[in-house]
């Protein structure tokens, strides 16, 4: 593995680098469909006290375990997304993702965040194989500089195929080129998750992508985890134990960020990933590499100097 990887500062959060240098960034979601704090996902009405408690718990777990954090704001409409951005920007100082299944909502959120002077904290999620010229032009016009590339589709399951989505093939431009055209200067790569048993493939893709591009790379096991939970009818504490194992697998492959699902998972997700990050950092001593921040989980949890 090369001696250096890309490292970004995203609103005060450091992300990237070689395994063991920086702690992986935890990304918890709020205002997703079915979030208990939501009362109207169309207009963006929600229980502010409930949302504040979720954000506060996430912040405290981040400090305790030495894992940086980004908030994943999910919206169904432009109106709702604007309300969520206003709330999170005021209630918390963490960077945030502008996330939606609908590109027009993501674009509206990106433009609003830039208009509000939140460009240092705003991250677009995401550019994928379904990108359109309208989306790319809109992003370039609004000026947002950080974003996620989702390098995954049903025809590109194996790790090397996901790398092909980034590079491009024939007349089909690669997603890295598309992101550049959109004006993104800080790019995070998510090779996608098909299902839980294929997390090994996703982890291998993370290692390959970091090796070839040097860019920060991570994934979102949370959707697959919840689908499996419903199918297998898992209850506490079996669900949390399985979830911890799933979250830790990409960390061992060098993942720089993890979507851990709803913010309500913070109480078990942070301890699990903190321990995994510590093991990776201690192993990196064999390459004469140590954490670059005193807040790293290896120091915070285990007191290793």
3-state class percentages of the chain: helix first, strand second, coil last, to nearest 5: 50, 20, 30
Nearest to 45 by CA among 92, 82, 99: 82
**How many angstroms separate the CA atoms of 198 and 289, rounded?**
30
Cis peptide upstream of residue 237 (ω within 30 degrees of 0): yes
pLDDT digits (tens, 9 = 90+) for 233-249: 889 999 999 999 999 99
**Cα 141 to chain centroid, rounded:** 24
**pLDDT digits 0-9 by tens, 185-222:** 999 999 999 998 999 999 999 999 999 999 999 999 98
Residue 275: which of 16, 15, 23 has the closest Cα?
A: 23
Q: What mean pLDDT comes out for the span 123-144? A: 97
Q: How confident is the model at residue 3 (pLDDT cuts 50, 70, 90)?
A: low
Neighbours of 234 (CB within 10 A): 17
Instruction: Inform me whether the pLDDT recorded for 268 exceeds 90.
Output: yes
pLDDT, average across residues 136-145: 98
pLDDT attached to residue 231: 85
Which residue, chain included where needed, has tokens 């206003």? 86
pLDDT digit string, tens, across residues 81-94: 999 999 999 999 99
CB under 8 Å to 300, separation ≥6 — which residues? 64, 65, 66, 274
- Give the pLDDT band (50/70/90) at residue 172: confident
R_g of the chain, CA atoms, integer Å: 18
Range with the lowest mean pLDDT among 121-125, 139-143, 145-149, 153-157?
Answer: 153-157
Position 305 pLDDT exceeds 70: no
Every domain of the chain and the residues it spans: 13-300
Q: In this structure, is the dihedral angle defined by the CA atoms of residues 188, 264, 242 and 278, taken in order, positive or negative? A: positive
Give the Cα separation of 222 and 169 in Å (integer). 30
Mention every residue, 6+ apart, whose C-beta is less than 8 A from residue 186. Answer: 8, 10, 123, 145, 146, 147
- Please give the Cα distance from 16 to 210 (Å, whole number): 9
Calculate what percentage of the chain has a pLDDT beyond 70. 99
pTM exceeding the 0.85 threshold for the entire prediction: yes
Rounded CA gap, 25 and 67, in Å? 6
Q: Is the pLDDT of residue 15 over 90?
A: yes
The CATH class, in words, for 13-300 is: alpha beta
């Amino acid at each position: 593995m090369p001696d250096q990887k890309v490292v970004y500062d995203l609103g005060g959060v450091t992300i990237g680098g070689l395994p063991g240098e920086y702690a992986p960034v935890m990304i918890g979601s709020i205002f997703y469909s079915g979030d208990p704090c939501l009362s109207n996902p169309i207009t963006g009405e929600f229980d502010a006290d409930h949302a504040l408690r979720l954000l506060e718990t996430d912040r405290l777990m981040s400090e305790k375990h030495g894992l940086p954090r980004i908030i994943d704001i999910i919206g169904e409409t432009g109106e709702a997304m604007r309300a969520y951005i206003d709330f999170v920007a005021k209630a918390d100082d963490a960077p945030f993702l502008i996330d939606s299944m609908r590109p027009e909502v993501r674009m509206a959120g990106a433009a609003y965040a830039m208009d509000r002077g939140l460009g240092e904290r705003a991250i677009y999620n995401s550019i994928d194989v379904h990108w359109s010229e309208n989306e790319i032009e809109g992003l370039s016009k609004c000026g947002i500089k950080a974003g996620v590339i989702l390098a995954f589709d049903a025809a590109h399951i194996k790790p090397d195929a996901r790398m092909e989505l980034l590079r491009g093939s024939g007349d089909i431009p690669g997603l890295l080129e598309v992101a550049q055209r959109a004006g993104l200067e800080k790019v995070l790569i998510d090779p996608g998750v098909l299902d839980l048993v294929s997390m090994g493939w996703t982890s291998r893709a993370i290692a390959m992508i970091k090796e070839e591009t040097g860019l920060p790379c991570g994934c979102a096991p949370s959707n697959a985890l919840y689908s499996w939970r419903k199918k297998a009818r898992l209850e506490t504490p079996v669900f949390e134990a399985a979830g911890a194992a799933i979250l830790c697998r990409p960390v061992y492959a060098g993942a720089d960020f993890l979507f851990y699902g709803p913010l309500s998972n913070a109480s078990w997700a942070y301890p699990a990933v903190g321990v995994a990050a510590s093991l990776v950092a201690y192993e990196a001593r064999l390459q004469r590499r140590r954490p670059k921040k005193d807040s790293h989980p290896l120091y915070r949890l285990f007191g290793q100097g």
